[in-house]
């Protein structure tokens, strides 16, 4: 190929980056906000507000295009080696998290010598410094002088008690341990082809227990951490955007919303803050509903005392949820189960729907990566990235693929495409009426077919 022709792909990627960065600057100017400072440990206003669509898209394009551009310019040996060793970031992060490095640095904004950090957590200082340097290279922690480390915008989120601490712990322990035995799980004649929860790699690494049973019977402390992790993960997925993606604020007063598989119900709390007229019913397994009660008592006790929220334990496979609600909201539960169980769950809801009831299922809708994919319905609902990026935005939307594998490891389940969601609904007599773009996740709206009872 003519060298000049081959430069076109470099130029296209750079042009995409330039245009996306300009969009980002416009959004920060419109909101009168500065771009976050990576060295700062203070929360930025953008961290707790709905991320504007234009800014989110700009970040996805920059992320996808920078990754693609650097892969073009690096030698393939170098690029491949880096990918094979991505886990070194995870293991370094685990050491920093377990050894509470961020906590130790909290009172030392100017930084602390690694010998002092090591004196507090008992690790060998030379090894600790090398691990922290890997993380600092990935913009988590800063090395402010030789062997002196300080927190920054990312590392401060590793501190105990922050919203992200739970999801960091879950990712780096139970999920990581499961991931370690994924290959054995996939090549085992029994567990490889199976989608049963007790055949997950998590189960292989944890005495054969499926995840929920493990939390209930073996490690309730991790079970509690999982509930907190789901709330923290809301920040990763930009909960605010998820809540603003569906018109919750237009629902008439007294609309009943059953949050099924609610966890502690933090999204429902956001929904109620957006529309105080709604009536919430939280439904989950008994022990999780106890966590939900405590969370609502701490964060919205007046809604509890005024009866605007009810707590009703359920096993959603064994019995239907509370009957006759206007909305059945179910977020990131179906992705934990294979089709058979998912159909039972949806069929149980269908049994108690009124003709006007809607199911709002909030999940990732997985894209096709191939530019030749002709799923026109998907193209209608799901934004495609501009060429020469992968249509799915490549690394710009890596998170959805990470989560797809996380649920493979933890619960032996998967994220689904739009046509798979359609098939699930059709199998139990439900139709998809709308797909709402909620930023990271989508909200699929299922209704009963017209004229059905
Ligand atoms: C991935 S979490 C999602 C929680 C919440 N919707 C959110 O997005 O944060 C899945 C939830 O399903 C609940 N769950 C699992 N099995 C269940 C069952 N048989 N009946 C009711 N809830 C169940 C879990 O306790 C957990 O809270």
Query: Taking residues 214-232, what's their average pLDDT?
Result: 90
* Percent of the chain surpassing pLDDT 70: 96
Q: What is the CATH number of domain 85-158?
A: 1.10.10.10
Average pLDDT, the chain: 93
Q: Find the mean pLDDT for residues 20-41.
A: 97
| pLDDT at residue 392, as a whole number | 85
150 pLDDT more than 60: yes
Task: Choose among 266, 398, 247, 431: nearest CA to 332.
Answer: 266
Strand order in the sheet with 358-363: 309-311, 279-283, 256-260, 327-331, 358-363, 441-447, 431-438
DSSP 372-387: T---HHHHHHSPPPPT
CB of 407 sitting under 6 A from ligand 1:
no
CB atoms near residue 343 (< 10 Å): 18
> Residue of the nearest CA to atom 11 in ligand 1?
261
What's the 232 CA to ligand 1 centre distance in angstroms?
15
Q: Which residues are catalytic?
A: 335
Position of tokens 């200082």? Answer: 125
User: Could you tell me if the CB of 315 is within 6 A of ligand 1?
Assistant: yes
Mutation choice for ligand 1 from 198, 257, 285, CB with most ligand atoms inside 8 A? 285
Topology of the domain covering 237-447:
Rossmann fold (3.40.50)
The number of helices, as runs of H, and strands, as runs of E, in the chain is 21, 10
146-150, 221-225, 226-230, 422-426: least confident range = 226-230
User: Helix, strand or coil for residue 434?
Assistant: strand
Least confident interval from 49-58, 356-365, 418-427? 49-58
d(CA 171, CA 402): 11
**171 touches ligand 1 (CB under 6 Å):** no
216 Cβ inside 6 Å of ligand 1 = no
Question: Is the C-beta atom of 285 inside 6 A of ligand 1?
Answer: yes
* Distance from the alpha carbon of residue 262 to the mean position of ligand 1, in angstroms: 6
Q: What is the pLDDT of residue 445?
A: 97
Is the pLDDT reported for residue 280 higher than 70? yes
Which residues partner with 259 through β-bridges?
A: 282, 329
Q: How many CB atoms lie within 10 A of CB 427?
A: 14
**pLDDT confidence of residue 168:** 94
- Residue 239's pLDDT is 61
**Among 66-70, 103-107, 150-154, 364-368, the least confident range:** 364-368
Please tell me the pTM assigned to this model: 0.89
The region of weakest confidence among 48-52, 257-261, 263-267, 274-278 is 48-52
Contact 260, 328 (CB under 8 A): yes
Tokens of 308: 């605007």
* Residue ID of nearest Cα to ligand 1 atom 2: 333
The answer, yes or no, to whether any atom of ligand 1 lies below 6 A from the CB of 213, is no
Compute the distance from residue 263 Cα to the ligand 1 centre, in Å: 6
Checking if the pLDDT of 103 tops 70, the result is yes
Among residues of the chain, what percentage have pLDDT more than 90? 82
Residue 45 · residue 32 · CB < 8 Å: no
Nearest protein Cα to ligand 1, atom 20: 315
Ramachandran angles phi, psi of 435, nearest 5°? -125, 115
> Could you report the per-residue pLDDT of 32-70, keeping only the tens digit for each?
999 999 999 999 999 888 788 899 999 999 999 999 999
pLDDT of residue 380: 61
Quick one: pLDDT at residue 385?
Answer: 87
């Amino acid at each position: 190929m003519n060298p000049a022709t081959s430069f076109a792909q470099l130029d296209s990627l750079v042009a995409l980056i330039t245009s996306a960065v300009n969009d980002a600057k416009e959004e920060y100017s419109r909101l009168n906000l500065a771009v976050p400072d990576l060295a700062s440990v203070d929360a930025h206003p953008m961290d707790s507000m709905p991320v504007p669509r234009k800014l989110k898209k700009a970040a996805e394009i920059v992320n996808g295009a920078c990754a693609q551009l650097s892969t073009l310019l690096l030698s393939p040996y170098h690029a491949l080696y880096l990918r094979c060793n991505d886990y070194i970031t995870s293991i370094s992060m685990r050491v920093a998290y377990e050894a509470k490095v961020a906590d130790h640095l909290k009172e030392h904004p100017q930084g602390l010598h690694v010998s002092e950090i090591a004196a507090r957590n008992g690790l060998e200082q030379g090894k600790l410094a090398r691990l922290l340097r890997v993380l600092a290279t990935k913009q988590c922690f800063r090395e402010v002088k030789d062997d002196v480390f300080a927190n920054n915008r990312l590392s401060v989120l590793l501190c105990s008690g922050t919203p992200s601490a739970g999801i960091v712990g879950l990712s780096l322990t139970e999920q990581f341990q499961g991931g370690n035995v994924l290959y054995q799980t996939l090549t085992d004649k029994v567990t490889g082809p199976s989608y049963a929860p007790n055949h997950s790699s998590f189960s292989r690494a944890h005495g054969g227990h499926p995840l929920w049973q493990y939390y209930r019977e073996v490690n309730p402390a991790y079970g509690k951490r999982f509930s907190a992790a789901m709330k923290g993960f809301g920040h990763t997925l930009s909960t605010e955007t998820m809540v603003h993606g569906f018109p919750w604020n237009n629902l008439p007063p007294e609309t009943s919303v059953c949050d099924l598989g609610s966890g502690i119900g933090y999204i429902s709390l956001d929904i109620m803050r957006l529309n105080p007229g709604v009536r919430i019913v939280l439904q989950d397994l008994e022990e999780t509903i106890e966590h939900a009660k405590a969370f609502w008592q701490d964060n919205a006790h007046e809604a509890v005392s005024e009866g605007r929220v009810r707590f009703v334990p359920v096993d959603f496979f064994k019995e239907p949820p509370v009957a006759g609600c206007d909305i059945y909201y179910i977020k990131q539960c179906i992705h934990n189960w294979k089709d058979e169980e998912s159909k039972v769950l949806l069929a149980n809801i269908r049994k108690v729907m009124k003709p006007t009831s809607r199911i709002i299922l909030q999940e990732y809708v997985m894209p096709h990566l191939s530019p030749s994919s002709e799923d026109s319905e998907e193209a209608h609902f799901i934004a495609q990235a501009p060429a020469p990026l992968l249509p799915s935005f490549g690394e710009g939307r890596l998170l959805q693929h990470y989560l797809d594998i996380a649920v493979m490891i933890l619960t032996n389940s998967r994220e689904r495409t739009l046509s798979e969601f359609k098939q699930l609904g059709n199998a139990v007599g439900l139709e998809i009426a709308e797909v709402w773009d909620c930023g990271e996740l989508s909200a699929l709206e299922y209704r009963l077919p017209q004229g059905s009872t």
